[in-house]
Structure 1
Amino acid sequence: MSDDRETVLQVVDAVGKWDVMLAGIKGEEVIIVSKKECPSEIRLGERKVRIRRFDPEEYLRLVCENESLFRDYKMVYFVKVYMRKILDLLASLEVYRLSKDFSASE
């Protein structure tokens, strides 16, 4: 876990932490949500890490369609306001699904 955290923080520093809204890791892949373009791979010592970058608005839209894009990653770095947006979005999607299930069962 600590190694994953260090990896993400090193990648965030390399791409410019002031531009990153959210960063997480799954295996050898780091997800970066940022308006700024970044490389698709970074070498950290002997380790090569793939980077999957998303624009912040595009990422919100994609999370609506596929929550695993958020849930499958261990989120290590985030801007509080942006994380709040994502969590509010996921909560509203869950409420919508529950109300839909409730309506269908009546």
Structure 2
Amino acid sequence: VTSSTAEVCECDTVEAPRAENIYAIDSRLKDVREPSYGPVTCVPDAKIVNYLLRPAAYNKHKLPYKTGVKVKVEFWIQEITAISEMTNDFEME
């Protein structure tokens, strides 16, 4: 999908070999479903990132899932240098 105001990045244009509906991003970065028969221009990465991180769509305080994100952490303890039974404190490397 091209527009007279669309910026063309420095990558090569891609020929669409089949006349079928393809997903493309127009100059306003909205999903468009149109048949494409010719070259498709690409959108600069900075424009895509700015669209994805716009204030209306991205909230750094919102969890991606209700249960959060499960993360597995693995670490190795090399040495325990001090244990305090009075304060339940310890030091390790």
**TM-score over 0.5 (shorter chain):** no
The structure in which a higher percent of residues are helix is 1
Please identify the structure whose Cα radius of gyration is greater: 2
- TM-score range with shorter-chain normalisation? under 0.3
Per the normalisation by structure 2, the TM-score is: 0.27
Question: Which structure would you say has the larger RCO, counting Cα contacts within 8 Å and 6 or more residues apart?
Answer: 1
Per the normalisation by structure 1, the TM-score is: 0.25
